[in-house]
Structure 1
Amino acid sequence: MASQQMLKFVTVERGMPEKREADVRREDFKEIYAEYADAKAKEQSSRCSQCGVPYCQTHCPLHNNIPDWLRLTAEGRLREAYEVSQATNTFPEICGRICPQDRLCEGNCVIEQSGHGTVTIGAVEKYITDTAWEEGWVLPIAPAQERTESVGIIGAGPGGLAAADVLRRAGVQVTVYDRYDRAGGLLTYGIPGFKLEKDVVMRRNKQLELGGITFELNCTVGEDISFEDIRARHDAVIIATGVYKSREIEAPGVGAQGLVRAIDFLTASNRKSFGDAVPEFDDGTLNAEGKRVVVIGGGDTAMDCVRTSVRQGATSVKCLYRRDRANMPGSQREVQNAEEEGVVFEWLSAPKGFVGDPVTGVMVQKMRLGAPDATGRQAPEVIEGADYVEEADIVIMALGFEPEDLPALWDQPELPVTRWGTIKAAFTTGETDLEGVYAVGDIVRGASLVVWAIRDGRDCAEAILQKLDAGAQIAAE
């Protein structure tokens, strides 16, 4: 009987949750997809072919047991589906919303390859965990036994919080230090509400706090507390700061008023959604309302900026990217959403300089794709004589992020870093050359996906637990 619930991809078409109309959704910061109804979630889950070798699971950084929780959902066993999902993913309701499923699980779905349309894995994942919250199945962490050891975690983003969750469930005493006034890192202040509504993040933060995790917020390491003090307080320290330093551009006109960094623009917008006082938003510096906006960059941060600008009431929004659509690093789904909302993409276009102070335009040089570069991608080349000026009142630089100089900021010259400035840490464990110091997420990988930060945090926590257990065993002998 149970097997009859599955393998319906031949007769049942792929169906995403209903997407709000562009003219409606561009007026607010609410998530653009509606919730699945129970029957729809079961229907879409039943399309899973239950592969013997599930590529969706293989291509998920967390190796989530996707076929099993799809089957449980199709059979109406939602609480079991949630338990299976939660076993490998600390924040499934967040990954279900913001993971680029088109590049990971869904992009490698076997029935997608056979032409039947992928299973809507992300939407089902979101539905399962949202239902778990509504039904009261998501409970505060309650360790079976408390331990005396403690771990300090610097950074309350997804990597740090994932590590905190695993350690706390094992009874370890955990303190998370973060420079911001709310936990969540980029989940809170970087990602806009139309992709991840903030009550979803705050709800998870509260669950971690109720489970006994201590948060030291508004705490900047190197200013409010030294790195050495944190090491002295704890048996192990995890560095999970992420990468927040914006990549700069060298061109005539840089420094003009009206050129703003993506992280500043997005943070200001998210703070306004919390009701915070944001003077730079109120005075127009970080507000796109009534302005011609040009965003430079082609990643997901650039997509967040263009779609935020639309919602703030920009008169026009354009995105400059030096390669073509096929070579864009951001999610194609996000590009489509942005186009539906009125964003214009100027492909094969790169900034050459900026006009005016305050800025009135971007000097644009047109490009073509030439021979492949070292990564195998076709390198953009300038088309001589094809320059023009794109008018703009505000230019948002979304060129990516680099690590801050932590050895200097924290007065830790012995903290090992790579030539890119990321922390040098062991693969899977996150262990550094400093005794008891670990590092996870973007500060090790460079700017990457939330799901990889969660994976790193979980792996690192398990490695620390093994080390603590080994130390306890030696002490007992």
Structure 2
Amino acid sequence: MVDRMLQFVSVHQHQPDKRVAAERRHDFDEIYRDFDIPQAEVQSSRCSQCGVPFCSVHCPLSNHIPDWLKLTAEGRLEEAYEVSSATNNFPEICGRICPQDRLCEGNCVIEKGFESVTIGAVERFITDNAWEQGWVKPVRPRQERRESVGIIGAGPGGLAAAEQLRKQGYQVHVYDRYDRVGGLMIYGIPGFKLEKDIVLRRHALLAEGAIEFHLGKGVATEDSDTEISFATLRHRHDAVLIAAGVYKSRELGGPGSGLPGIVKALDYLTVSNRRSLGDDVPEFDSGLLNAAGKNVVVIGGGDTAMDCVRTAVRQGAKSVKCLYRRDRANMPGSLREVKNAEEEGVEFVWLAAPEAFLGDDMVTGVRAVRMKLGLPDASGRQSVDAVEQSGFTLEADIVIKALGFDPEELPTLWGEPALEVSRWGTLKVGQKTFMTSLPGVFAAGDIVRGASLVVWAIRDGRDAAAQMHRWMGARAEQPLSVAAE
């Protein structure tokens, strides 16, 4: 091991080469180039193989990171893939979009003084290489079960649960209101972070493993050609998992907030991604959700805001500004994404918040005020206060609200008042069981924890699948007279 590993003292960190900003501003291709085998082996050899791997501790999936780094350094790439995929259903996706600077790499033991191991890039390489070598296979359960499971939502949580349950032999049916599999991975995250064929090939693999997808099929109170009632789902399947995500955009008030030209981030990103997928998109063609030649102001400081500003650059915006009420150190988004955005020409207006929106028939500007950080609040985060007499105006032809997402009112939308929700509108579940207030109905992902990371949705989906398997197994072992009750 000494010969292969612990090379951080002599080998410098090297991230995959990044396309220059002048080139990548004009397309939606991923900005990072791939490692080749020698690069992946050398970078993996920098791992210190520490006794307490904080990279794994701070990974929501508890990935066995030091193990697959060592296997990669030794050239045992198929074994590295087997270890990586044992805890993660979509490692090539997490390797691309996880905020490694806040999770595994940000907690790497050698990070202080030697820079962290390039964990995300190696993770991506391992599975991309496995696809090229034909090592990624569809699920083939050893034994088929008669029980069927209905999963609402084809995002990362629902897909992870679907694959785990299919491995156990269950008949798995996934329902989604959209026409493609992936949820926000297909329509929310831009191609420069996650090219769409990466998601589509996973869909094809899951379908090859006999998971049934019912696309363009939303859940409602009554059955129709495009919708299925929640009651029908419960009757049709032995267990149901709700992994619907959170899609209701948070609103922004103030004078002029209803002006045309003020749009929701998800609407804007969905239109852009649909166009990249080759769909006809009238909202783009009309210019309504097209930033070409416009002064763009994005309000927010999370990863969705970063997706919006970088998309606007690629659409040919005249100027792109990001307005955020806190400073760089306190923004929730990935600092790596901020750096990428700045390289591409985005201007960040820190410590500023909107007061009003200007314009008559269309938005023409944002009146903002400077902010200052105050004392920590109950959550431990510094409060923000407006600075008196500090107002200023930003010119804007389109304003994009990237303020986060809240859950939809599922009990009302689905006609199921017995489905209990928290005060935030998320579904209530048992802490260990993942079961909702309805017997046999489970929930996982953002619809339970609130808007979060893809990697957390995968973790929740896997854990919920394990609890569903346990619950259905217990029911199968009950005497018929008890089960009938």
State if a TM-score over 0.5 links the two structures: yes
| One-letter amino acid of the counterpart of residue 170, structure 1 | Q
Residue 474 of structure 1 aligns with which residue? 478
Is the counterpart of residue 438 in structure 1 residue 446 in structure 2? no
Alpha-carbon distance in structure 1 between the residues aligned to 2:62 and 2:375: 36
Residue 57 of structure 1 aligns with which residue? 56
Query: Paired residue for 1:455, among 444, 454, 459?
Result: 459
User: What TM-score, normalized to structure 2?
Assistant: 0.97
Q: How much has 1:471 moved relative to structure 2?
A: 2.0
Is the counterpart of residue 241 in structure 1 residue 244 in structure 2? yes
Q: How much has 1:181 moved relative to structure 2?
A: 0.2
Residue 176 of structure 1 aligns with which residue? 174
Contact 1:428 1:456 in 2 (8 A): no
- For structure 1, the 5+ residue unaligned runs are none
Residue 158 of structure 1 aligns with which residue? 156
Alpha-carbon distance in structure 2 between the residues aligned to 1:22 and 1:135: 32
Q: How much has 1:373 moved relative to structure 2?
A: 1.7
Alpha-carbon distance in structure 2 between the residues aligned to 1:202 and 1:466: 30
Greater CA deviation, 218-227 or 98-107?
218-227
Residue 67 of structure 1 aligns with which residue? 66
Alpha-carbon distance in structure 2 between the residues aligned to 1:71 and 1:429: 35
Q: Alpha-carbon deviations, 1:231-268, whole Å to 9, x = none?
A: 00001100001000000011100111100000000000
Structure 1 residues 144 and 476, CA gap change in structure 2 (3 angstroms): farther
Q: Alpha-carbon deviations, 1:331-370, whole Å to 9, x = none?
A: 0000000000000000011010100030000011111111
Alpha-carbon distance in structure 2 between the residues aligned to 1:349 and 1:22: 27
Structure 1 residues 266 and 252, CA gap change in structure 2 (3 angstroms): same
| One-letter amino acid of the counterpart of residue 10, structure 1 | V
Alpha-carbon distance in structure 2 between the residues aligned to 1:390 and 1:446: 32
**Local SS of the residue matching 1:221:** strand
Q: Alpha-carbon deviations, 1:17-57, whole Å to 9, x = none?
A: 00010100111000000000100000000000001110000
Work out the percentage of aligned pairs sharing the same amino acid: 67
Q: Alpha-carbon deviations, 1:382-437, whole Å to 9, x = none?
A: 11111011000000000000000001000111101000000001224311121000
Is the counterpart of residue 372 in structure 1 residue 376 in structure 2? yes
Alignment of 1:137-152 (within 5 A): 137-152=135-150
Contact 1:105 1:121 in 2 (8 A): yes
Alpha-carbon distance in structure 2 between the residues aligned to 1:135 and 1:119: 25
Q: Alpha-carbon deviations, 1:190-216, whole Å to 9, x = none?
A: 000000000000000110011000001
**Local SS of the residue matching 1:370:** strand
| Superposition misfits of 4+ residues, deviation over 6 angstroms | none
Greater CA deviation, 199-208 or 376-385?
376-385
Is the counterpart of residue 256 in structure 1 residue 270 in structure 2? no
Alignment of 1:55-454 (within 5 A): 55-113=54-112, 115-222=113-220, 224-356=227-359, 357-454=361-458
Contact 1:151 1:235 in 2 (8 A): yes
Contact 1:8 1:47 in 2 (8 A): yes
Structure 1 residues 428 and 204, CA gap change in structure 2 (3 angstroms): farther
Greater CA deviation, 27-36 or 221-230?
221-230
Residue 38 of structure 2 aligns with which residue? 39
What is the number of equivalent residue pairs in this alignment? 475
Alpha-carbon distance in structure 2 between the residues aligned to 1:426 and 1:215: 27
Contact 1:288 1:312 in 2 (8 A): yes
| One-letter amino acid of the counterpart of residue 298, structure 2 | V
Alpha-carbon distance in structure 1 between the residues aligned to 2:177 and 2:283: 20
**Local SS of the residue matching 1:36:** coil
Q: Alpha-carbon deviations, 1:317-339, whole Å to 9, x = none?
A: 00000011110000000000000
Q: How much has 1:466 moved relative to structure 2?
A: 1.2
- For structure 2, the 5+ residue unaligned runs are none
User: What TM-score, normalized to structure 1?
Assistant: 0.98
Alpha-carbon distance in structure 2 between the residues aligned to 1:375 and 1:317: 32
